[in-house]
A = this chain, B = another copy of it.
Amino acid sequence: MVQNNNCSNKGLYSPIRRKVYNSDAGEAAFLLGGIGTGNVSVGARGDLRDWEIFNRPGKHNKLPYTFFAIWAKKDDGKPIVKKLESRLRPPYARAHGIMPEDAAGLPHLEESSMIGEYPFVWVEFRDSELPVHVTMEAFTPFIPLNADDSGIPGAIFRYRVKNKVNCRVDVSIAGSMGNVIGDGVGNPWNTTIDAGCKINEYRDTGDIRGLYYTASCLDKEAINYGNMALVTPDSHVSRKQNWLNKGWWDGIHDFWADFCEDGRLEAESTYEALNTGEKERYKVGSLCIHRTLMPGEEAVFEFYLTWYFPNRIRSWYEDDYRFGNTKTIRNYYSTLFKDAWDAAGYLHSNLERLEMYSREFHRALFTSTLPDYVIDALSSNITVLRSNTCFRVAGGHFLSYEGCSDANGCCEGNCTHVWNYAQTLAFLFPELERSMRSMEFNMETDEDGRMSFRSYTLLENYKRRDLHPAADGQMGTVIRLFRDWKLSGDDGFLASVWQNAVNALDFALKYWDKDGDSVLDSQQHNTYDIEFYGPNSLVNSIYLAALKAAAHMAEHLGDAKHAADYRDAYEKGSKRVDELLWNGEYYIQRIDDVNRYLYQYGKGCLSDQVFGQLLAHIAGIGYILPREHVRESIYSVYKYNFKRGLYGHNNVQRVYALNDESGVLLCTWPHGGRPRLPFVYSDEVWTGIEYQVAAHLIYEGFVAEGLEIVKAVRDRFDGYRRNPWNEYECGHHYVRSMASWGLLIALSGFKYDMAEGAIEFNPVINRSCFSSFWSTGKAWGIYRQTEDENGKPSRDIEVIYGSMEGISINKSKVAGEWYDNKHEASG
């Protein structure tokens, strides 16, 4: 194995440093939960927040009375009892004070710091009174190429407790949780079911034991039907399955008194009085683990939290359900598990394997010699896949909004022009990515080749929106087909969608190329939610890459006619685009009067101007425009659009970066010619576009420039300004942010062709000390490289998951990359 003990890189290229979020990093929230299961997040104080397990987003949602607490008593001492969260940070104001449901008035631990390295989060607590040292670890299993085991509706919470004094310490940790089954905590109808119908059951099934929450008055088909479990494999437990509920806040009062007394919980509290108060609507329960620790001894207090809310709306729009126009559809995960207890059982029985591969993935990513902020950008945006942005329905189909509003999905239907940018899913769960291609080509493309850029068919929306087709999205889908085929080597998959792909591509010639010059020029709806008129390099670079990819695919499938047609169109188009749009420095939009139509960019320097070229690089299609012009174009984007500091920026649009922050604007007009009303997002800063520009700069040899942009992005997501695990645009956890995975591909010079059975690495930084994660549709692992003094590399490939049997590595040329590319100079 190649040893990377020779890494002395500095500055932008230096390998990973751990990013630590102190307890005042109030925006930091690390999402737990599987693909399509919803989430609960861990904050930098060790708090549980943003309960989004009810089939919808739920930013700021809290679960009442849901927290962990510790009781620790030295041999002969007084017990120290505290909530297992560090102290609250200002502001403290709420209309009615902080309500008892938050348990904010209990003693808290003095300090905490959080490290989140996907899929693991660790919170280290510090407290001068506690006789023990406590660290929390939490994760939901995450295994690339294994979507089911990455889609478990639950999370593991482990409190690692170490005795730090010179005598025996008795320690208890109690987890409490409100039973909100059927309630309005984040469900769209704000129903509240009668507390009397909620059931907190205590179960012990031998291997695990704990609380199981149901609501007897809910039918299995009900939209708010479900159950939850808080369990432990530990056998040293006590519990209070139903908190006292005479009235008011008696429950927490009684729980806390009981817990403080001896660190053990009575199963039921009794209290007789002549009066009662207003009853709590929640049934709350607690599960407590006890241990005795000798000096220096350490123990792990392990809890599993699982949930099961099987029914979601069979629509992209809540109103469809609200007004009775649709019913429900089952979550995919609910077809794998019977209920939350079953999911907990599965977690327990398979934990060794699930955890091993999750840790291996973490090791592969985080022992990389790529710069810390790059790994941060890659790993943090995996979150999107497991946020409420994405979901899976019975049958396994993968669906996604573009992002999430605080309480709703936002912008429906696997939007093709947004997914254009995303690379993460394709490389980690290519099977799910391919399911989108199947939907796009086989369900969303009409016979004439018009593709709906939003997928409506699967959810049988009662009213499919009649959208103008999106030129960039439709053409990008063809490139993504090529990529996904090369990643999987699955010819059957390619063949299954080919005819519709041909139709979709041919549609462009008929619909967008009015004058038949192989340059798209008519009304082109695109990812800026407006229409471009006339030739422009955003749409045309994608079109050219699609043509070139399609020519290759046609040839592979023996479809010589299309291969020739597409090759011809590509060659003609490429030449013509360059003639029409190259201004000597970058590619522009060709339009006579830029103000004749609203929302154009004309002579502007568009950050996405050679986006199709980046897609071609990542897919291995090679150059689609003259290499030197491409290089100069992307450098112009860096030169003109990357702003260091935005104090003077005049932006009347949406604000994603401001003040002292740096970022890439969507467009600038360095030589004048700004339209009176340019396209409506032109002055904005989108991380997804910043990543595509950065990856492209790296591909073109401007490595430092690309990395500078990545660093600027991640500096904005510092836990104080924004949540590191939430790059938002038109919604939280925005799909476009998954463009970041392209950085890995670019930096490691990774090429793949499973159809031909070859992969190749050609790192562009830290070549003498390189280590990085890699993946294809067949396997994933770690690639390591050192170089001798002559620059001759020693390579090592570690296959962690899957098999690379029959796949050559850096042995022969990877097909496609320089497939018939007359523009390309040398590799």
Q: Residues of A with Cβ closer than 8 Å to B?
A: 26-27, 59, 87-88, 90-100, 102-107, 246-250, 252-254, 256-257, 260, 271, 273-277, 403-406, 410, 530-531, 595-599, 647-656, 658-659, 676-677, 680, 683-684, 720-723, 726, 728-732
Instruction: Find chain B residues with CB under 8 A from A107 CB.
Output: 647-650
Instruction: Find chain B residues with CB under 8 A from A531 CB.
Output: 275
Instruction: Find chain B residues with CB under 8 A from A250 CB.
Output: 598, 677
Contact B273–A596 (Cβ < 8 Å)? yes
Q: Which of B599, B651, B677 contacts A105 (CB 8 A)?
A: B651
Task: Report the 4 A-B pairs with minimum CB-CB distance, sorted nearest first.
Answer: A105-B651, A97-B654, A98-B655, A252-B652
Nearest B residue to A57 via CB reads B95
> What is the CA–CA distance of A92 and B728 in the complex, to the nearest angstrom?
11
> What is the CA–CA distance of A98 and B657 in the complex, to the nearest angstrom?
9
> What is the CA–CA distance of A138 and B597 in the complex, to the nearest angstrom?
43
Q: Which of B249, B275, B404, B656 contacts A653 (CB 8 A)?
A: B249
Instruction: Find chain B residues with CB under 8 A from A732 CB.
Output: 95
Nearest B residue to A721 via CB reads B90
Instruction: Find chain B residues with CB under 8 A from A253 CB.
Output: 652, 677
Closest-CB distance, A51 to chain B (whole angstroms):
17
Nearest B residue to A731 via CB reads B95
Contact A103–B658 (Cβ < 8 Å)? no
Contact B655–A728 (Cβ < 8 Å)? no
Contact B652–A27 (Cβ < 8 Å)? no
Instruction: Find chain B residues with CB under 8 A from A647 CB.
Output: 87, 107
Instruction: Find chain B residues with CB under 8 A from A252 CB.
Output: 652
Contact B658–A88 (Cβ < 8 Å)? yes
Known: A100-B652, A247-B598. Contact between A728 and B94, CB under 8 A? yes
Closest-CB distance, A364 to chain B (whole angstroms):
30
Instruction: Find chain B residues with CB under 8 A from A275 CB.
Output: 531, 597-599
Contact B96–A731 (Cβ < 8 Å)? yes
> What is the CA–CA distance of A256 and B676 in the complex, to the nearest angstrom?
11
Contact B91–A649 (Cβ < 8 Å)? no
Known: A105-B683, A250-B677. Contact between A403 and B276, CB under 8 A? no
Contact B652–A720 (Cβ < 8 Å)? no
Instruction: Find chain B residues with CB under 8 A from A99 CB.
Output: 654
Instruction: Find chain B residues with CB under 8 A from A91 CB.
Output: 26-27, 720-722
Nearest B residue to A652 via CB reads B252
> What is the CA–CA distance of A87 and B250 in the complex, to the nearest angstrom?
46
Contact B653–A100 (Cβ < 8 Å)? yes
Closest-CB distance, A144 to chain B (whole angstroms):
28
Closest-CB distance, A432 to chain B (whole angstroms):
24
Contact B104–A655 (Cβ < 8 Å)? yes
* 17 cross-chain CB contacts under 8 A: A26-B91, A88-B659, A93-B721, A93-B722, A95-B728, A96-B730, A97-B729, A98-B654, A100-B652, A105-B650, A106-B650, A106-B651, A249-B680, A252-B652, A273-B598, A275-B598, A277-B599
> What is the CA–CA distance of A260 and B598 in the complex, to the nearest angstrom?
21
Instruction: Find chain B residues with CB under 8 A from A90 CB.
Output: 27, 720-721
> What is the CA–CA distance of A92 and B727 in the complex, to the nearest angstrom?
12
> What is the CA–CA distance of A271 and B596 in the complex, to the nearest angstrom?
10
> What is the CA–CA distance of A677 and B723 in the complex, to the nearest angstrom?
40
Contact A95–B406 (Cβ < 8 Å)? yes
Instruction: Find chain B residues with CB under 8 A from A271 CB.
Output: 595, 676-677
Nearest B residue to A676 via CB reads B271
> What is the CA–CA distance of A246 and B720 in the complex, to the nearest angstrom?
37
Known: A27-B93, A659-B87, A722-B93. Contact between A597 and B652, CB under 8 A? no
Nearest B residue to A595 via CB reads B273
> What is the CA–CA distance of A97 and B248 in the complex, to the nearest angstrom?
40
Instruction: Find chain B residues with CB under 8 A from A410 CB.
Output: 95-96
Instruction: Find chain B residues with CB under 8 A from A654 CB.
Output: 96-100, 105
Closest-CB distance, A597 to chain B (whole angstroms):
5
> What is the CA–CA distance of A252 and B684 in the complex, to the nearest angstrom?
15
Contact A656–B254 (Cβ < 8 Å)? no
> What is the CA–CA distance of A680 and B100 in the complex, to the nearest angstrom?
11
Instruction: Find chain B residues with CB under 8 A from A405 CB.
Output: 95-96
Closest-CB distance, A483 to chain B (whole angstroms):
29
Contact A723–B97 (Cβ < 8 Å)? no
> What is the CA–CA distance of A99 and B723 in the complex, to the nearest angstrom?
18
Instruction: Find chain B residues with CB under 8 A from A651 CB.
Output: 105-106
> What is the CA–CA distance of A249 and B599 in the complex, to the nearest angstrom?
11
Closest-CB distance, A661 to chain B (whole angstroms):
8
> What is the CA–CA distance of A403 and B93 in the complex, to the nearest angstrom?
14
Given contacts A104-B655, A105-B649, A274-B596, 15 further A-B contacts (CB under 8 A): A87-B658, A92-B721, A93-B722, A93-B723, A95-B728, A97-B656, A98-B658, A105-B655, A106-B652, A248-B680, A250-B677, A253-B652, A256-B650, A256-B652, A277-B680
Instruction: Find chain B residues with CB under 8 A from A652 CB.
Output: 100, 103, 105-106, 249, 252-253, 256
Closest-CB distance, A823 to chain B (whole angstroms):
35
> What is the CA–CA distance of A653 and B247 in the complex, to the nearest angstrom?
13
Closest-CB distance, A522 to chain B (whole angstroms):
13
Nearest B residue to A599 via CB reads B277
> What is the CA–CA distance of A94 and B530 in the complex, to the nearest angstrom?
23
Contact B404–A95 (Cβ < 8 Å)? yes
> What is the CA–CA distance of A403 and B595 in the complex, to the nearest angstrom?
53
Closest-CB distance, A196 to chain B (whole angstroms):
20
Indicate the member of A650, A652, A656, A730 with the most B CB atoms within 10 Å. A652
Instruction: Find chain B residues with CB under 8 A from A598 CB.
Output: 246-247, 250, 273, 275-277
